[in-house]
Structure 1
Amino acid sequence: MNSQTRLVLGTALAGSLLLTGCGAGQPAAPPATSAASGEETQQLTEIGIGVLPIVDVAPLYLGMKQGIFEKHGIKLVPQIAQGGAVIVPAVTSGQMQIGFSNVTSLAIARDKGLRVKIIAPASGSTGVDGADYTAVMAKKDSAVTDAKSLEGKRVAVNTMNNILDSTVSASMRKKGADPTKVKFVEVPFPDMAAQLEAGNVDAIVVSEPFVTVAEDEGNVQVLSNYALATEDLTVATYFATEEFIQNEPQTLAAFRAAVVESQEFATANPDKVRQILTEYTKMDKSVAERVTLATYPASVNKVAVADVAQMAETDGLIKDAEKVSDLVAE
């Protein structure tokens, strides 16, 4: 990977600030009045939402660009986080109203007693082995070729004890391999390919655009951890606190309706998804045209969410999957 590509991709997933943007939960300015017609424009409810600049949130940006959120009376203010770990505490502390997070992180938060719940879908696995937007990858000439050969190896994940290593473990079990024999190590996505090339790790678990970039460098996929972990895996969602859900039912309903419409628009217009990726992630157009996209479901798969919680319990990330059975808000 050349230095320019590393810089672009590093910037895409890291974000320029810990949290940028403001105005969470504040109504927009009073309706403006047209001098010509005397008609008032629609008053919008302003919502600060914590996101990461990754493929999973493409429908959110498309929805804003297409005027979908505005049509539903919502003005979104994306607050870009450097990593998902800061979004949950930012939402629970009231710094923003809504956040984006993978399901494992939310199950862990709920298990710890945090009053967070899933309110809308974000992204899901394609379910296709060998053609998903996240994969375990190794060098082409490596001894790592399948789940079994991962035993005893060093495998890089961007965050320890979370959805990547948990789904890798679940996939290995399904293939008859023992994930307890894997040495997971934490490496940021932009640094993984270099660590693999240097021989510091034997395999890497990457999401797009790093899957495509790693393949361009001659590496190969050896395990589709999302596709194999469980059927129709819900990877990430939007969430809020129980207080917000109880106190802002109209805002919640409007946000959900806008998300569903945006998800459906993105599913029907993959070319527009690829275009928007070059805008909010700064992804190179040549890469955006070739990445495998996530799916953008219109509803949360509660069965898959329960499966993710069970994986987390099996791996010791949470104490009791049953305790988080109410993770998805009604």
Structure 2
Amino acid sequence: MPAKGSVPESRGGNRPYRRPRTTFLIAVGAAAALLTAACGSPGAAGEGGDGGGGDGGTSTLKVTTLSLCNEISVLWAQQKGIFEKNGLTVELVKAGGGAAGLAAVQGGSANLAFTNPFSTMLAMKSGIDLRWVATAYGTPKEGEDPSNAVLVKEDSPIKAGKDLEGKTVAVNELGGINQIIVQQFVTDAGGDPEKVKFVALPFGELASAVASGKVDASQAPEQYSNTPGVRSLGDPYMKVGKDKWLVFAGYVGTAKFVDENTESMKKFLASLKEANTAIKEPANQDEKYRIEAAHCGQDAKKLAEDPENPYFADVPMDAMKQMAQILVDQGQTDKLPDVEKLVPEYSRS
């Protein structure tokens, strides 16, 4: 998982997760009902206006949040008046994970969900028509600073992903985005991910479990590679993505809502782009980390020392298509997710 990245919902099992359509829809419906009861009905985009975020009034968007540091783009745009300048009011609605966010937009208690591509594509497989409006952040590509690591003991004979065959690997959750990427990391190195045993551990235990010999390896944020007694095999996201950024998290709405509120969606995307330009300015770094720290409950000085993921709002289609193919290759879906349908033209890079 990226140093400050998103936390997808927990799932069980050691192999690629296969969720039956009915189970997924029941889970989504239940979560949506809970969120609707807690939050009430969202203010629709263009409410009091033209229904499309035009000149009829300020558009209100309810956007789910996981209270993560890497949500800085939407936080900056909200707190610095960028959304307001572009005719939007953005309200953040807390959700317990990516699936809960998707449930919220399906149930109508939020307009956009903060989630990851794999969860989104699997939801589409279950029959939920979704649109990926904007990216929140991605993962580094080769030649950039890593934000993740596959950790092994300093004296371990494990040298590459294929050597993880027959070994126990810890991830923060079973069946989530990090396990999927590690499985691909093993495959790309010539190994068989079916022969890897995955276990779930809290983030704070991922490195120490390797150092103590409790597990053979773990996937963890890059800063954990500084733990005494461990070393990194490299960033699995960088290895899988090679010369391109992969998409880690972004903002997703139902096809109906997004299509009916195209202008508001374009304004949301433009606001994130403007925010990303600002948060990359050296003069804004201290304030950026203060805003992050207040949102995610961490120390601003520590955040400034941690590796960061690349922030971009457009959607790189080649990366999304690669991630869709990974789901097929791993047997999580027998039909290639329709990325062309998922990502509107105006959202593409």
Do these two structures clear the TM 0.5 threshold for a shared fold by scoring above it?
Answer: yes
Residues 184-233 of structure 1, C-alpha deviations (whole Å, 9 max, x = no match): 223333443454455432222224xxx32452455332231111112221
1:300 CA displacement: 0.5
* Aligned counterpart, 2:305: 290
Greater mean alpha carbon deviation, residues 285-294 or residues 299-308: 285-294
TM-score by length of 2: 0.77
**Contact 1:47/1:98, CA 8 A, preserved across alignment:** yes
**Contact 1:120/1:299, CA 8 A, preserved across alignment:** yes
1:114 corresponds, among 121, 128, 137, to 128
SS in 2 for 1:326: helix
**Percent same amino acid at aligned positions?**
26
SS in 1 for 2:131: strand
**Counterpart amino acid of 1:175?**
A
* Aligned counterpart, 2:199: 185
* Aligned counterpart, 2:22: none
Q: Which runs of 5+ in 1 are unaligned?
A: 1-8, 31-41
SS in 1 for 2:326: helix
Residues 227-265 of structure 1, C-alpha deviations (whole Å, 9 max, x = no match): 111222122221100011122223222212212212222
1:242 corresponds, among 246, 252, 255, to 255
SS in 1 for 2:341: coil
**Contact 1:111/1:323, CA 8 A, preserved across alignment:** no
Change (3 A) 1:119 1:28: closer
**Counterpart amino acid of 2:183?**
S
* Aligned counterpart, 1:251: 264
Change (3 A) 1:56 1:195: same
Summarize the alignment of residues 1-330 of structure 1 with structure 2, pairs less than 5 Å apart: 24-26=42-44, 44-128=58-142, 131-207=145-221, 211-213=222-224, 215-216=226-227, 218-230=229-241, 231-269=244-282, 271=285, 272-330=287-345
SS in 2 for 1:299: coil
1:22 CA displacement: 6.4
**Contact 1:234/1:304, CA 8 A, preserved across alignment:** yes
In 2, Cα distance between equivalents of 1:204 and 1:314: 22
**Contact 1:92/1:116, CA 8 A, preserved across alignment:** no
For these two proteins, the number of residue pairs brought into alignment is: 304
**Contact 1:133/1:293, CA 8 A, preserved across alignment:** yes
SS in 2 for 1:321: coil
TM-score by length of 1: 0.81
In 1, Cα distance between equivalents of 2:47 and 2:123: 34
In 2, Cα distance between equivalents of 1:108 and 1:28: 30
Q: Aligned-pair RMSD on alpha carbons?
A: 3.0
Q: Which runs of 5+ in 2 are unaligned?
A: 9-33, 49-55
Residues 41-67 of structure 1, C-alpha deviations (whole Å, 9 max, x = no match): x96332211122234311111222221
